[in-house]
Amino acid sequence: MKILVTGGLGYIGAHTSVLLIEQGHQVIILDNLENSSLRVLDGIASITNQRPLFYQTDLRDRKAVVEIFNKHTDIDGVIHFAAYKAVGESVEQPLKYYDNNINGLIALLECLIPQEIPLIFSSSCTVYGQADRMPIDETSPMKKAASPYGYTKQIGENIIQDCALANSSFKAILLRYFNPIGAHATAQIGETPNGEPQNLIPYLTQAVAGKRTELRIFGDDYDTPDGTCIRDYIHVMDLAAAHLESLLYLHEGKNSSACECFNVGTGKGNSVLEVVKTFEKSTQKKVPYSIVARRPGDIVQAYADTHKIEKAMGWKAQYSLAEALQSAWKWEVHSAHLEAQ
Ligand code: NAD
Ligand code: WQD
């Protein structure tokens, strides 16, 4: 298949692009480099021995996007990663998020729908908010979004569903990721947060590497077995595989409706302290940490019921938490070398 990957030089997009190329598919990457760099393209090329065609283009630049689709009239599918994702920033600058995440999606849909190109959309478990029942299955209702970022994912899903209703030949899959972590086994690509990391794993690995004084664990007085919050941490390469399976699923006409949503997680919840202990055991590195106050807006627990995607596509997470954390650590060490170059 020939696949256009928007945001293909970002964290999840780069890992997915590698997997697609390794599986013999042709990848075209569109990215404006706002949260990535050409070094990632080098990483993809070094892993796969192929340099995918790359367009440094902003998705909101409708003319440029139309030109890409006019040039490539045989695209079999689009995976749409390009968006802003920083929850806190979205609270401070909501328009920035509504503009990019919604207008980018609309610009893309305007090209996809007339050409009947299927779409895989990066959604998030954030659309559920604090769900009433664990594990969370896809019938769990969308609660009021906790942030403008979360709201852009809810709106994005609704826009795509409406388009599928209105255009019988347009097909889409909404993948609701839980917490993606880890890196490619080669450590040639990984997660590169800008400035101080907001997410647990990059903060943890930076604390172990000495770039941060210590990991601050946000609260140990939650109603969970050890008092810390519970999440479903999924290896980014497992997540990448879910995108490929989704494309094949649509390609082979196995979908039961024009637009379906699927959770992508491991189905297992781990607490922050369990993550710390598993990291220490699997890397033999001590994590410097202290317990601090709760982080406002954090939900207590979120982990996926993954039966729907397993049954529909035969996809299941393969990597353990320990393997994901080892790969994150290997990337932390390797990226420090890259930075030093
Ligand atoms: P990322 O920031 O690493 O990657 C996004 C990429 O898109 C970046 O390379 C950025 O330069 C590019 N981009 C952003 N706006 C663009 C635009 N207008 N035009 C062209 N390129 C643009 O993020 P990620 O972690 O790889 O996330 C990918 C997607 O998955 C996002 O939609 C995100 O909301 C979603 N998601 C991420 C997580 C997570 O924890 N990482 C969880 C759930 C969902
Ligand atoms: C995980 C756990 C923290 C940092 C975010 C987005 C969500 C989705 C996934 C995109 C929590 C704790 C964290 C730290 C800590 N992204 N923690 N110290 O909050 O589940 O979700 O990423 O769609 O929208 O909100 O992930 O990695 O920030 O936190 O103790 O320095 O680690 O309290 O319990 P979260 P996270």
> Which pLDDT does position 264 carry in this prediction?
99
Report, as an integer, the average pLDDT of 156-175. 97
Is the CB of residue 8 below 6 angstroms from any atom belonging to ligand 1?
no
**Cα atoms in the 13 Å half-sphere on the side-chain side of 110:** 16
- Name the residue ranges covered by the structural domains of the chain: 2-180+234-265+303-318
Residue type, 71: K
Q: What is the mean pLDDT of residues 221-232?
A: 98
Q: Is 149 known to be catalytic?
A: yes
Q: Whose CA is nearest to atom 15 of ligand 2?
A: 217
pLDDT at residue 321, as a whole number: 98
**Please, which pLDDT band fits residue 130 given cuts at 50, 70 and 90?**
confident
pLDDT at 77: 98
- Predicted confidence at residue 325, as pLDDT, reads 98
For ligand 2, atom 9, which residue shows the shortest CA distance?
Answer: 179
Tell me: pLDDT of 331 over 90: yes
Question: Which residue among the candidates 11, 55, 128, 149 is catalytic per the annotation?
Answer: 149
State if residue 131 touches ligand 2 by the CB under 6 angstroms criterion.
Answer: no
Q: What is the mean pLDDT of the chain?
A: 97
So what's the pLDDT on residue 91?
95
What is the model's pLDDT at position 338? 77
The predicted pLDDT at position 116 comes to 96
How far does CA 83 lie from the centroid of its chain? Answer: 10
- How much is the average pLDDT of 171-197? 96
Whether 122 and 174 have beta carbons less than 8 Å apart is answered as no
Rounded-to-integer distance, Cα 264 and Cα 161, Å: 19
Of all ligands present, the nearest one to the C-alpha of 147 is 2
SS3 string of the chain?
Answer: CEEEEECCCCHHHHHHHHHHHHCCCEEEEEECCCCCCHHHHHHHHHHHCCCCEEEECCCCCHHHHHHHHHHCCCCCEEEECCCCCCHHHHHHCHHHHHHHHHHHHHHHHHHHHHHCCCEEEEEEHHHHCCCCCCCECCCCCCCCCCCHHHHHHHHHHHHHHHHHHHCCCCCEEEEEECEEECCCCCCCCCCCCCCCCCCHHHHHHHHHCCCCCCEEEECCCCCCCCCCCEECEEEHHHHHHHHHHHHHHHHCCCCCCCEEEEEECCCCCEEHHHHHHHHHHHHCCCCCEEEECCCCCCCCECCECCHHHHHHHCCCCCCCHHHHHHHHHHHHHHHHHHHHC
How distant is the alpha carbon of residue 28 from its chain centre? 18
Could you tell me which residues are beta bridge partners of residue 78?
Answer: 4, 119
Q: Is the CB of 7 under 6 A from ligand 1?
A: yes
pLDDT at 339: 79
> What CA–CA distance (Å, rounded) separates 228 from 225?
8
For residue 28, the model assigns a pLDDT of: 98
Ligand 2 closest atom vs CA 87: 25
Q: Is the CB of 200 under 6 A from ligand 2?
A: yes
pLDDT of residue 308 exceeding 90, the answer is yes
**Cα–Cα distance measured from residue 157 to residue 124, given in angstroms and rounded to the nearest whole number:** 10
CA distance 125 to 196: 23
The predicted structure's pLDDT at residue 7 = 98
% pLDDT > 70, the chain:
100
> Which ligand 2 atom sits nearest the alpha carbon of residue 177?
23
Task: Calculate mean pLDDT across residues 187-200.
Answer: 94
Q: What average pLDDT score do residues 271-297 get? A: 97
Residues 124 and 90: beta-carbon distance below 8 Å: no
Cα 200 to ligand 2 centroid, rounded to whole Å: 6
What CATH number does domain 2-180+234-265+303-318 carry, 3.30.70.660, 3.40.50.1370, 3.20.20.70, 3.40.50.720? 3.40.50.720
Model confidence pLDDT, tens digit, residues 25-77: 999 999 999 999 999 999 999 999 999 999 999 999 999 999 999 999 999 99
Of all protein residues, whose CA lies closest to atom 23 belonging to ligand 2?
Answer: 124
